[in-house]
Structure 1
């Protein structure tokens, strides 16, 4: 009955009919969606409260506080979506954490009422990601991403550890008999590079990424003694590419200049930073094999899933084959 009445109010105000979103304890971003839904339906909710004498209503200060909470949670939502792309990699973890921490640490005149919330979120991030920069999985991936390199480490010690871990990984690849195979995996002529995400023009982090790049300019190392160190120092001394460009395309073009680094990049930039993409694959399987198509063999299901996942990328790289879409 309440939903029906709210829809009537929305229609009367000329608004799009929408239901309010409820908060779910196990999904943090549902809190953001709930506050966004309330703010969007502020006029309808206020009119509903006046007409039906709700036992509890939101005051003007409550609405102001909701707006501030929603603004504070927006960067978390942006990063959640950013690392949920199929093209995301572990290299985005450290820059995202560092930039988000700086955003939370900034004090503004709009912090009244949410200072404790900001401090709590900042402290929680410091606890959860305390050693993330020391983890080779993240540090090597970050330094091998031409969008970030070594510019987002918060201390000189962490930067040196990342360089050292990178040198060890490169030397390990060079001594491995599988180096040739790994190098070919980075070649876009033999493997399909993943697509670059569209730039987010309304980002909550406008200027913060560039701010870090300016603060942490490339530092020249000592005298190079090996070919590996020469590659690393030359690579790090060059300017980073724009954040919206594709690191996979970069390594495809520069694999001959930095063969050892390209082979290592193929290893560390290959996996998404979350399990969302694999979870989406389970949804694809359930859409293909359902109660009306339950006689498909396992091999056929696997083939259809593979085509569903990879055909769009193949068609994008080969515009002449777009006639396959019609078939």
Structure 2
């Protein structure tokens, strides 16, 4: 088979995709096993050299993917982004990410990785600003099309976005982590207990013999044979998972400790504190998972904080749990004090058909949010040239929520708050924008596990101007998890065996891997 034939070019392109998709080294194309396989499958095909893939095949695939993304972005009026900085532990390289998220004309959420480029030198706000502006210019996206950039809470990132004069917000998942550290994990009794727990888990992690004996005890006690989880101190939820794994194996560990020595002793007081800590942190963990989902948007923030605040406000008979909850509530109120007065969050919440106006804690904030939404809808009508007032559709009956639909404390609280709001009356509208907003808010909310974008796809003709605003505000993620997942992909490419990869090759491989589905 001729090397330049159409069939051969197709095979070469697929090999290039496989190299990027499966985190394979460029040398894979010259490996004996792969050469043997290709000889068997297609004897006439001559596999190109690794240099051909590095210099021609993968750059061509990179360009093809980038051109496709440019074509998708050109007609999108508003795009949301996430960004973060990551430093490799195996190579002297720092990378700056930029991921994009938008809603297309069919109300489908689209994503693309735009950059994961080398970021050399000091991480000052000025240098971040310059790099970000260059990246946006590379995709012909001016500031008027930037809906929001989700970043971390570092001062240099905040200043860079402010100096760029683009809307930006901090990562909600990161803020929740700070609440946990400030409100609970910084307490001396908790830190001491975690330190002892960490020593015990480390003992079994580094001793196969000890783990083998613990597994024998687990089988003798007829309990689940599970490994203990080591925590990462920078991630509070990993500390929760460590505590839960120890609590699950309390009986087995007690038997082990009676027979053999451990590097630390867990007293009855320690076990009680671990139980209380795990109980109090469980709602945080559930909500952190919720706001870290790929489908999570800015609309999820106000409901999450309202639910969390109510859970933490509930009276407890146990004084220890009560104290923990109080300190955590204070941290949440401090970190999220202005969440109901930020337009990104309150308009997105109103436009999410699962939430609407059900999770605002202060009437004045709700009134402000509705007024602002009506203004945005009126602007959308002007842009659309809409003049006819939509028919005043009858509001659907309110959906009765049942506790049987809930499966956790968070779910039960969510339904309670929604039911309270649905029992309240709604205002009468006069203008076209007010009519659309009123009719939309008067409809019943959809179930929590439903897809709000499907709702807007089906209602776009009924509420065209409201739908246009929804397409803008529901495009915004509420965390920078997209960038974190991106850097996880980078870590699979730039590892100890390939720590000398050029930054441009790292970006090319990761760009193709993260965006390959766009070509399908």
Q: TM bucket by the smaller chain?
A: 0.7 to 0.9
Which of 434, 438, 448 lines up with 1:233 in the alignment? 438
Provide closer, same or farther for how the CA distance between residues 7 and 17 of structure 1 changes in structure 2, counting only shifts above 3 A: farther
Residue 46, structure 1, aligned to residue 269, structure 2? no
Provide closer, same or farther for how the CA distance between residues 249 and 112 of structure 1 changes in structure 2, counting only shifts above 3 A: same
Q: 1:241-280 to 2 correspondence within 5 Å?
A: 241-280=446-485
Contact 1:289 1:301 (C-alpha < 8 Å) held by counterparts:
no
Provide closer, same or farther for how the CA distance between residues 11 and 289 of structure 1 changes in structure 2, counting only shifts above 3 A: closer
Provide closer, same or farther for how the CA distance between residues 178 and 131 of structure 1 changes in structure 2, counting only shifts above 3 A: farther
Q: CA deviation at 1:152?
A: 0.6
Q: Deviations over 1:282-311 (max 9, x none)?
A: 433554688499896977864443124x57
The structure whose Rg is larger is: 2
Residue aligning to 1:187:
none
Which of 227, 230, 235 lines up with 1:21 in the alignment? 230
Residue aligning to 2:376:
169
Residue aligning to 1:105:
313
Q: CA deviation at 1:208?
A: 1.2
- Aligned to 1:207, what secondary structure does the other structure show? helix
Provide closer, same or farther for how the CA distance between residues 296 and 47 of structure 1 changes in structure 2, counting only shifts above 3 A: same
Q: CA deviation at 1:128?
A: 1.1
* Greater fraction of residues in strand: 2
**How far apart are the structure 1 equivalents of 2:350 and 2:425?**
13
Residue 92, structure 1, aligned to residue 300, structure 2? yes
**How far apart are the structure 1 equivalents of 2:301 and 2:470?**
16
Contact 1:23 1:34 (C-alpha < 8 Å) held by counterparts:
no
Provide closer, same or farther for how the CA distance between residues 177 and 29 of structure 1 changes in structure 2, counting only shifts above 3 A: same
Q: Deviations over 1:68-110 (max 9, x none)?
A: 211110110001111111100000000000011101111133x
Residue aligning to 1:322:
none
Which of 201, 204, 212 lines up with 1:8 in the alignment? 212
Structure 2: gaps (5+ residues): 1-201, 387-404
**How far apart are the structure 1 equivalents of 2:245 and 2:273?**
14
Structure 1: gaps (5+ residues): 180-199, 315-327
Residue aligning to 1:306:
515
Q: Deviations over 1:210-230 (max 9, x none)?
A: 1111111253213x2311000
Instruction: Tell me the matched-pair count.
Output: 288
Which region of structure 1 is more displaced relative to structure 2, 43-52 or 123-132? 43-52
Q: Return the TM-score normalized by structure 2.
A: 0.51
Q: CA deviation at 1:151?
A: 0.8
Q: CA deviation at 1:38?
A: 1.5
Residue aligning to 2:267:
59
Provide closer, same or farther for how the CA distance between residues 28 and 303 of structure 1 changes in structure 2, counting only shifts above 3 A: closer
Provide closer, same or farther for how the CA distance between residues 77 and 297 of structure 1 changes in structure 2, counting only shifts above 3 A: closer
